[in-house]
Amino acid sequence: MTAYWITTYKAILDETKVAAYAALAGPALRDAGGNYLARGLPAETYESGEKTRTVVIEFESVEAARAAHDSPAYQDALAALDDGAVRDMRIVPGAE
């Protein structure tokens, strides 16, 4: 079953670290089978929505998304991010 990796940025504390993270994370997650579906600020928000940067990546399965997160290449990206942002990241299974 398809799964979606959803990340919202609650606060960006260091743009340089976020850029370093993005340079490593993009290739790592694409190489792990991730397909970026959305990335950026919302065009509109409703029902107490926040104007926060959001990233949605599709994976073949929850297991594939988890493996991508735990991969050495993505862990290098997280190390580059360090304390550069406060984020909420989750993996959500697709609807059947």
Read off the pTM. 0.92
Contacts of residue 95, Cβ cutoff 8 Å, sequence gap at least 6: none
How many other C-beta atoms are found inside a 10 Å radius of the C-beta of residue 96? 5
pLDDT digits (tens, 9 = 90+) for 62-94: 999 999 999 999 999 999 999 999 999 999 999
- Quickly tell me which residue has 């743009």 as its tokens: 15
pLDDT digits (tens, 9 = 90+) for 27-62: 999 999 999 999 999 999 999 988 999 999 999 999
